[in-house]
Amino acid sequence: GRAERRAAAADALRKVGLEDRAHHDPSALSGGQQQRVAIARALVGNPQVILADEPTGNLDTKTSVEIMEVLEGLNENEGLTIVMVTHETDMAQYARRLIWMVDGRIERDERKRKAA
């Protein structure tokens, strides 16, 4: 019911660090906060996979790092698989696996070992 939906939304906002912005108008949020809201909306359905198409494309470097840390935390703490498309090589470095595509074909597939 309604109470469950509200609880799920509050939990999702907490996971992306926006619990204090729950009642703000979307236009009053920064670009990074709006991106976090988009991630929170995806979390409400309890997915196993999040598809992120250029999640940092319109953000400055500092905010991009914050968004990548949110996604990284969801992967590490919630066990979610994050499939991200990006042209930003610095943001791609957060991934454990990188797949380079050229003209619709896989050119390279690289798995990174996690630091000990």
Domain spans, the chain: 2-111
Q: For 31-77, how does the pLDDT look when each residue is reduced to its tens digit (9 = 90+)?
A: 888 888 888 899 998 899 999 999 998 888 998 998 999 999 999 99
> For residues 105 and 93, what is the distance between their CA atoms, to the nearest angstrom?
21
pTM equals 0.81
Are 53 and 85 within 8 A, CB to CB? yes
Domain range 2-111, its CATH number among 3.40.30.10, 3.40.50.800, 3.40.50.300, 3.30.499.10? 3.40.50.300
Helix (H, G, I), strand (E, B) or coil at 99: strand
Report the residue count for the chain. Answer: 116
